[in-house]
């Protein structure tokens, strides 16, 4: 009965009710759209970090990353290390990518430039590492003598697809070694320091270049990102092996960016939330103050202040619920229509290429939005209602005439 009366009161004051609903709906819609935009950026950063280079994390010998070694290859893992086989058989692990990294000279026949190389299993990695943004040719696959390099490195040497290049590097014994390759792909990750130095060749070629059969580390692809904690715990039974998550490996680009974006979002969320609360409170207060005559008549007919407050709060509850639902629907409509093709973003700090960011509205934020919308209308209704019901009945009736 109470809800029925409250609903009739709202429909009786169509213009006032519409004003509150519009305020709530637009406020909630703006919150959801911004949250979806922020989530889309962070998830894109995460996917680029995982599927461009690092995987979900990596394993190497304990203490290897934390120290500087005079002969780092002495801390590398044997290719038949028993831990590698057991990790590959772990039900949480989908892929194990053994790798070797090294510094070397990239020579085009006329000049040499220092670069940072990595040897991996091209055919195995090709499908998983699919966000490196190859702009010419293709990613390294079955090409035995193929090499994929960054855009800056290729431009500095004047290289194009199919061109021959020689990689010179020191073996683990200190002697100089060189192998010839041909360019199969050129990528543009957007990180200038990476694009200007990085190249990738097949693992066996890298091992032959360094004259070793060991691997430096193994990158990992899990079935589910959320399983990393359980996987890292399972690796602890191998005291000589440690597991490092991708966000630790790429703290500068990924983790620092995510922390910055999250802090920025929290600040803007407070600003938008404050604006929404003030807007709703102002609208609801105006409506309730305009109903002094009605409230005065209810008080004169024997209704208590508590009963009137319950009625006002019920109306606020309905306004918040309906307005929030409309705002949520509007946010989804914008996501799948006007913003369905994403938002083109300019290069961010430390990045040299643009990105298309898609809104990713998280299901849990629907409940957050409901809480914000309903609580704000209830707060506005309570503060305004409490002020009005305390006015003497005679003043309420006199003021309304």
DSSP 281-313: HHHHHHHHHTTHHHHHHHHHTT--HHHHHHHHH
Task: Indicate the length of the chain as a whole number.
Answer: 401
Please tell me the predicted confidence (pLDDT) of residue 156: 94
- Whether residue 401 has pLDDT greater than 70: no
Residues 165 and 117 sit within 8 Å (Cβ to Cβ): no
Give the position of tokens 């040299």.
352
Answer left, alpha or beta for residue 197, where phi above 0 means left and psi between -120 and 50 means alpha. Answer: alpha
DSSP 215-226: BSEEEEEES-GG
Please tell me the predicted confidence (pLDDT) of residue 213: 93
C-alpha dihedral sign at 183, 185, 186, 189: negative
Residues 95 and 123 sit within 8 Å (Cβ to Cβ): no
pLDDT tens per residue, range 191-218: 888 899 999 999 999 999 999 999 999 9
- How far apart (Å, rounded) are the C-alpha atoms in residues 369 and 388? 29
pLDDT tens per residue, range 291-306: 777 777 777 777 777 7
Give the position of tokens 């490196």.
132
| SS3 of residue 12 by DSSP | helix
Where residue 381 falls among pLDDT bands split at 50, 70, 90? confident
Please tell me the predicted confidence (pLDDT) of residue 52: 86
| SS3 of residue 186 by DSSP | strand
- How far apart (Å, rounded) are the C-alpha atoms in residues 184 and 186? 7
* Percentage of the residues of the chain whose pLDDT score is greater than 90: 38
- How far apart (Å, rounded) are the C-alpha atoms in residues 23 and 324? 10
- Whether residue 130 has pLDDT greater than 60: yes
109-119: b or e for each residue (b if 16 or more CB lie within 10 Å)?
eeeeeebbbbb
Please tell me the predicted confidence (pLDDT) of residue 399: 55
CB-side neighbour CA atoms (13 Å) of 387: 14
Q: How many CB atoms lie within 10 A of CB 281?
A: 19
Q: Mean of the per-residue pLDDT values for the chain?
A: 86
- How far apart (Å, rounded) are the C-alpha atoms in residues 398 and 401? 6
Where residue 348 falls among pLDDT bands split at 50, 70, 90? low
- Whether residue 7 has pLDDT greater than 70: no
Lowest mean pLDDT among 63-77, 172-186, 351-365: 351-365
- How far apart (Å, rounded) are the C-alpha atoms in residues 357 and 220? 26
Please tell me the predicted confidence (pLDDT) of residue 357: 84
Q: Which residues contact 253 (CB under 8 A, 6 or more apart)?
A: 45, 49, 191, 350
- How far apart (Å, rounded) are the C-alpha atoms in residues 324 and 314? 15
Please tell me the predicted confidence (pLDDT) of residue 230: 93
Structure tokens at 373: 């919308």
Structure tokens at 223: 């079935």
- How far apart (Å, rounded) are the C-alpha atoms in residues 359 and 340? 8
- Whether residue 329 has pLDDT greater than 90: yes
Q: Which of the residue ranges 125-129, 182-186, 269-273, 300-304 has the most confident prediction, judged by mean pLDDT?
A: 182-186
Structure tokens at 126: 């090709």
């Amino acid at each position: 009965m109470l809800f029925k009366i409250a609903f009739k009161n709202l429909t009786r004051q169509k213009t006032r009710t519409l004003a509150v609903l519009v305020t709530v709906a637009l406020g909630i819609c703006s919150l959801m759209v911004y949250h979806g935009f922020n989530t889309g950026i962070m998830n894109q950063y995460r996917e680029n970090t995982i599927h461009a280079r690092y995987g979900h994390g990596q394993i190497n010998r304990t203490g290897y990353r934390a120290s500087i070694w005079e002969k780092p290859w002495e801390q590398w893992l044997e290719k038949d290390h028993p831990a590698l086989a057991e990790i590959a058989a772990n039900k949480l692990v989908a892929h194990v990518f053994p790798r070797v990294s090294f510094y070397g000279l990239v020579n085009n026949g006329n000049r040499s430039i220092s670069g940072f190389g990595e040897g991996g299993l091209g055919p195995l990695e090709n499908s998983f590492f699919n966000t490196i943004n190859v702009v010419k040719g293709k990613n390294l696959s079955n090409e035995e003598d193929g090499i994929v390099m960054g855009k800056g490195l290729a431009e500095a040497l004047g290289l194009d697809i199919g061109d021959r290049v020689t990689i010179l590097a020191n073996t683990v014994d200190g002697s100089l070694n060189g192998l010839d390759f041909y360019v199969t792909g050129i990528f543009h990750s957007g990180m200038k320091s990476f694009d200007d130095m990085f190249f990738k060749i097949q693992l066996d070629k890298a091992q032959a270049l360094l004259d070793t059969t060991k691997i430096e580390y193994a990158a990992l692809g899990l079935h589910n990102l959320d399983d990393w904690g359980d996987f890292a715990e399972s690796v602890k039974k191998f005291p000589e092996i440690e597991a490092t998550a991708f966000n630790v490996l790429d703290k500068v680009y990924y983790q620092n960016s995510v922390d910055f974006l999250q802090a920025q979002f929290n600040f803007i969320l407070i600003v938008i939330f404050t604006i929404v609360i003030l807007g709703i409170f102002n609208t609801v207060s105006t409506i309730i103050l305009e109903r002094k005559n009605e409230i005065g008549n209810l008080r004169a007919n024997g209704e208590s202040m508590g009963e009137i407050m319950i009625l006002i709060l019920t109306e606020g509850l309905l306004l918040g619920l309906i307005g929030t639902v409309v705002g949520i629907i509007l946010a989804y409509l914008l996501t799948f229509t006007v913003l369905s093709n994403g938002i083109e973003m300019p290069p961010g700090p430390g990045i040299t290429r643009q990105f298309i960011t898609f809104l990713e509205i998280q299901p849990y934020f629907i409940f957050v939005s409901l809480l914000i919308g309903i609580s704000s209308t209830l707060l506005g209704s309570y503060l305004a209602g409490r002020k009005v019901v305390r006015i003497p009945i005679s003043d309420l009736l006199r003021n309304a005439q």
